[in-house]
Amino acid sequence: MPFEIVLMIAIVVLPAMGVGAYAVKKDYDLKERRLEVKELELELEMKKLEQEERKQLSSSSYHLESEERPRHREHR
């Protein structure tokens, strides 16, 4: 009888544990990939915001420079 129990453990339980461990690892890998994707999306969003901010600053500085320039009177 003990041999049958050991055999059952070897045939059923050990492979099930292996499949379970594989599933856990795959789930972990999937979550890790999703986290990496989120990080990349955040980096891209930050770059877009920085680019938009630079664009706004450059356009506002252009407007400030044009307002600060002395205006010449027209001679008639």
Residues 6+ apart with CB under 8 A from 11: none
Residue 50 is encoded by which pair of tokens? 């920085």
**pLDDT score for 12:** 85
**pLDDT score for 28:** 92
**pLDDT score for 2:** 86
pTM: 0.54
**How many angstroms from the chain centroid is the CA of residue 43?**
7
Distance separating alpha carbons of residues 3 and 60, to the nearest angstrom: 84
Block means of pLDDT (10 residues each) for the chain, 76 residues, are 83 85 91 97 98 89 62 58
**pLDDT score for 10:** 84
